[in-house]
Amino acid sequence: MLNIKDLHVSIEGKKILNGLNLSINKGEVHALMGPNGSGKSTLSYFLSGKDGYEMERGSIDYNGKNLLDLEVDERANEGLFLAFQYPMEIPGVQTSFFLKTAINSKRKHHGLPEIDALEFAKLIKSQAQELDISPDMLRRDLNVNYSGGEKKKQEILQMSLLNPAMSILDETDSGLDIDALRIVSEGVNKLRNKDNSFLVITHYQRLLNYIKPDYVHIIADGKIVKSGDFSLALELEEKGYEEISKTA
Amino acid sequence: MIKDNILNDTSMENLSIHAKEILLEKNPFKNFKIENYRYAQLHKNIESQSDTVKSPLHKDLTKLTTDISHNTFANIDLKPTIDKWGFSNSDSFFRVSSLVHRTSISINLDNFKETSLFLNISNISKNITIQKKDPQLKTLVLLNYNCDDETPKSLIFNVAENANLEVVHYDVSNKKSFLYFEVKQSNYSNFNFASFQSNNTHIRNEFFSSLAEKCNFELSGLNFNNFGVNDNYSFIQHVKPSSSSREVFKSIVNNGAITNFQGKIYVDSIAQKTDGYQMSRSLLLDNISKANNKPELEIYADDVKCSHGSTVSKIDQEQIFYFNSRGISKEVANLLLQKAFIIETLDIIQTKDIKDFSIKLLDNLLT
Ligand SMILES: Nc1ncnc2c1ncn2[C@@H]1O[C@H](COP(=O)(O)OP(=O)(O)O)[C@@H](O)[C@H]1O
Ligand SMILES: [Mg+2]
């Protein structure tokens, strides 16, 4: 699915990712954990294709394609999805309209006709209900005056509607209370199947109690310093980042 | 020569910066302080434009009356009266008072049974006075397009006590156009004015409003300026206590166009409890277009609530990225963000058919 080799990325001449290797297969859930400033968001932005990053070395293969050959919207339409740590507010654009436009962009990319209005209404209603998002919120402007938790739920709603092959969740758990965390995790777990993959970025082990990863990686200073299974997350919780990075 | 090219190449794709700069040279206000917009020498503006440069709104407007059901709408029929008196030859700045010599047409909106009325002012050169006395809300749609000459036009609205009136103005002149609106509101009256402008030449609209006690006045403006110069000037006077005014002006400027907005809220010393609000925002789509916004407050009462704001910005690339990351292309994202920017100006329209029509019109304008 996603194969990152020896990735070196800098921002404005400042080196952020330092020889990062990560390989994610179909059907796998990987967790990426690391202290603030270790490069987690940089990795997710770079994968999604955001401007302003310079790749000095490395390669990224996505489903047999060179990811870097694809524009941001092409990556998305080819099934790459990033749930943002800080979702953007878009005043003047109604949430449900945005969702419909996104769905139709993907359908167009795959040569499908636009989604039927009734079908969309049903789809969005059921998905929103599962995430405890009120119909009223769907009528409001996208992410405007949403609480932190509502913004994160909105990201997960977008993810469920677009049904991506490769989802990256950048600290989706931060700022969520325990109820919201449970709802969001259930949303992710429902999507999991043998054909799609997840990279769950988090600071805390807490989220991983809900979304059980197959692999856990620890990132420090822009590279992965240790990989393991779920027990690594527990070990991290016990010892802290510094200790773990030292023993790496 | 270059200008002809500019005018004929509506796509603007291959337009050089140089050519655009030549256009910018035409900015009539270059040598004036912003304060002097009112007194700009209009004759120095862009020469009369070729008819081939038409605003995209044209074809929509010509269909307008066939689009909407006829039971609730009526056309006000005024014979075009063209007197070939324009301001293109005048030597000095144009004064509204010079319109006075022309005969005036008076229209009483309460005489019509329909709730929405169309008035094509394109080729009318008389002064028009509009009366509204009844509390029942009426919507007057003003059309200004395909003008045959550049004669300034003046419209005066007399809104009587307790009367409710809504005006929606579509201005898509393909020639220079100058419209002067004056609103006189009596106690307890409500007046909404929405003005949608799309021009490639030079248009100027002036709004003068005077508010008595406990009146509401809302003014929404939108100009989509793809090429020429667009001026809007507003002067809202609160002369009696407890009235409110709310003004929102948006402009999208592109292809080296210039938009100028100057708006003043004036509050007389006896006009206590005035609630005044004014916001002007411009969105620049390129690096050579210009927006000059000048909000002004002049307040002589001490117990009032007045605020104003003004912004000039570009499309937010972070927002574009967010759309892109959801599979939505740059082009579509750009359009949606432009629409998001202007949509607020439609809020004040209360008549659903007119509002829907306006949305459709703006959609066509942006695509
Ligand atoms: N736009 C930027 N310009 C300069 N430095 C940046 C920018 N974005 C991130 N950084 C720096 O890159 C490093 C990694 O940041 P980030 O990827 O956000 O870390 P994380 O998500 O792991 O907390 C930090 O030192 C941060 O200050
Ligand atoms: Mg981060």
Would you tell me how many other CB atoms lie within 10 Å of the CB of residue A96?
19
Give the separation between CA B86 and CA B77, rounded to whole angstroms.
Answer: 23
The predicted pLDDT at position B44 comes to: 29
Contacts of A49 in chain B (CB under 8 A): 324-325
The predicted pLDDT at position B46 comes to: 32
Helix, strand, coil share (%) of chain B residues, nearest 5 = 20, 40, 40
- The pLDDT tens digits for A189-213 are 999 999 999 999 998 888 999 999 9
| B90 CA: distance to closest CA in chain A (Å) | 44
Give the separation between CA B267 and CA B244, rounded to whole angstroms.
Answer: 11
Nearest to B325 among A82, A93, A106 (CB): A82
Give contacts of B 309-348 with A, CB under 8 A: 317-319, 321-330, 332, 336-337, 339-341, 343-344
A2-84+150-246 CATH pick, 3.40.50.300, 3.30.56.10, 3.20.20.120, 3.30.360.10 = 3.40.50.300
Q: What predicted TM-score, i.e. pTM, was given to this entire model?
A: 0.84
Taking the domains of chain B in order of start, what are their residue ranges? 2-365
Would you tell me how many other CB atoms lie within 10 Å of the CB of residue B131?
18
Question: Does the beta carbon of A222 sit less than 6 angstroms from any atom of ligand 1?
Answer: no
Give the separation between CA B247 and CA B266, rounded to whole angstroms.
Answer: 13
Name the average pLDDT for chain A.
94
- Give the nearest ligand 1 atom to A39 CA: 17
The series of mean pLDDT values per 10 residues for chain B, 367 residues long, is: 36 38 40 33 31 47 51 60 37 38 77 84 81 93 76 89 96 80 96 90 88 98 84 94 97 87 94 97 90 92 95 96 98 95 93 86 77
Give the separation between CA A44 and CA A121, rounded to whole angstroms.
Answer: 31
Taking the domains of chain A in order of start, what are their residue ranges? 2-84+150-246
Atom 6, ligand 1: which residue's CA is nearest? A11
Instruction: Compare all CA atoms of chain A with the CA of B340 and give the residue at the minimum distance.
Output: A92
The predicted pLDDT at position B171 comes to: 86
Distances (CA, A) of B226 to A171, A220, B197, B253: 43, 51, 11, 6
Q: What angle do CA A18, A21, A27 make, to 5 degrees?
A: 145
CA of A8 to the centre of ligand 2 (A): 18
Instruction: Compare all CA atoms of chain A with the CA of B318 and give the residue at the minimum distance.
Output: A88
